[in-house]
Amino acid sequence: MEKMPLKVKLYTFSVIIIGIITLFAGITHISVDMVPRIIFFSLLGIVAESLIIKISGNIYISMNFAIGLAAMLIFQSPVVSIVAFLSALLWVVKEDGKWVHLLNSSIYKRIFSGSAYALSLTCATIVYHRVGTVYGITESIKFNIIGLLLAISIYTLLDIIIFSMLSAVLENKYFWMFVKENLWLALNVFGLSPLGIIIATAYMNYGWFAVLLFFGPLLIARYSFKLYMDMRHVYFETIKALSSAMEAKDKYTNGHSYRVADYAVGIAEQMGYTHDALDRIKTAAVLHDIGKIGISDSILNKPGHLEDNEYVVIQKHPEIGAKILSEVEFLGDVSKIIKYHHERFDGKGYPEGLKDAEIPMEASILAVADAYDAMTSDRPYRKAMDSHTAMNILVKESGIQFNPIVVKAFRDYLRKHGGEMAHVG
């Protein structure tokens, strides 16, 4: 077992024990005629789990729940735990040119994932098997619609709880914060549910060959989506490289964008933003100064204060940045945040002189994070301020330059995070 804190060991070991008990319960329900079906759906599950697609950070999606749901409808027995456990244990994926499999990755993590999946899917199966009236879908197969909805809900709830609790004990943060972050899993599960029903229907009516015929187009669709995500990743990495190139022009702003991203995400978390919004704000923060790539070095690196005509030029960088990013479809929302991050709450900002609620809240968050890091970093014309002084300026400008809601959230965030930040305001 990898070295980990005691509470993490206790939690993961508890889930594994319950999962293994569930697995043995499934094994006791096996009959000889089930074996070919168990092997078939386990192989499908392994393939589905091996075809994961990375969305961002540690977020991945796969088609595996569709296979699990189909198994639930076909077996209506705890044997689904075997399908779930094997698919989460034996997946194979290629990462950075290297094949990752059971023998060269963390077996403990795989057993934990398999146990969690087996537990959630088995509980869902029990709920489905025990609930209510059966409604006909076709002449040869009937599904319990009420039980199906409840089973999917139970599976989703358990999945979110298990992995939110894992994140909470790993990072020593509030459980409910991770529950909100993981709510997107519900969309993935409910989105795959019709596919699971179709696979079960195809198998019960036409056998395993029909499932394979149906599985082929799904693999093609998955491949197309992966190509899109890969292209999206390449676009984003290219733009980040441009941003880094821009920062390389000015030694005083080196690392600025990533510090601003940390502050902006902290503010947004304090304000209760969901995972998608946090990801959008982080992206905007990393890229917020990309427009400066179109500004002359002599202006960017001027040691003294700017002349009026030079200040007019530097004010163009939010629009330049927004224009660059607007050319990339999936960064459209990000470009709007960047365009307005120099607007002021009193309407005296640029480029459009927006005020109060006219300014997107994400842009107001970025404005506060950007200003704080600028004040606490060395500049050609002054030394860095201490955090206490910078925070006091933000508070003084609350309701004038900055959105008061955002300033309060930032103040609360900094107070929570110890170190030299603990004494601010």
Close Cβ partners of 194 (under 8 Å, ≥ 6 residues apart): none
Q: What's the pLDDT score for residue 191?
A: 82
pLDDT of residue 298 exceeding 90, the answer is no
Q: What's the pLDDT score for residue 138?
A: 40
Neighbours of 184 (CB within 10 A): 16
Q: What's the pLDDT score for residue 188?
A: 77
pLDDT of residue 275 exceeding 80, the answer is no
Q: How far apart are CA 38 and CA 208, in angstroms?
A: 12
Q: What's the pLDDT score for residue 223?
A: 72
pLDDT of residue 292 exceeding 90, the answer is no
Q: How far apart are CA 178 and CA 182, in angstroms?
A: 6
Q: What's the pLDDT score for residue 136?
A: 43
Neighbours of 69 (CB within 10 A): 28
Say whether the peptide bond before residue 78 is cis (omega within 30 degrees of 0). no
Q: How far apart are CA 160 and CA 57, in angstroms?
A: 17
More confident residue, 319 or 240: 319
More confident residue, 1 or 244: 244
Close Cβ partners of 36 (under 8 Å, ≥ 6 residues apart): none
Is the four-CA dihedral 415, 176, 63, 107 of positive or negative sign? Answer: positive
Q: How far apart are CA 382 and CA 373, in angstroms?
A: 14
Q: Which domains does the chain have, with CATH numbers?
A: 6-206 (1.10.1760.20), 231-421 (1.10.3210.10)
Amino acid identity, position 185:
L
pLDDT tens for 341-382 read: 999 999 999 999 999 989 999 999 999 999 999 898 876 666
- Phi and psi, residue 56, nearest 5°: -170, 150
Interval 397-422 mean pLDDT:
82
Joined tokens for residue 228: 């899109």
pLDDT tens for 17-71 read: 999 999 999 999 999 999 999 999 999 999 888 887 665 555 566 778 889 999 9
- Phi and psi, residue 60, nearest 5°: -130, 155
Q: How far apart are CA 118 and CA 73, in angstroms?
A: 15
Averaged pLDDT score across all residues of the chain:
83
pLDDT of residue 85 exceeding 80, the answer is yes
pLDDT tens for 172-231 read: 777 877 787 777 778 778 888 888 888 898 898 888 888 888 777 767 766 776 776 777
pLDDT tens for 102-159 read: 888 889 999 999 999 999 999 999 998 887 544 444 444 457 788 889 999 999 999 9
Q: What's the pLDDT score for residue 404?
A: 95
Amino acid identity, position 88:
A
Q: Which of 96-100, 276-280, 359-363 has the highest mean pLDDT?
A: 359-363
Close Cβ partners of 147 (under 8 Å, ≥ 6 residues apart): 127, 128, 129, 130, 131, 132
Q: How far apart are CA 283 and CA 165, in angstroms?
A: 27
Joined tokens for residue 47: 């393939």
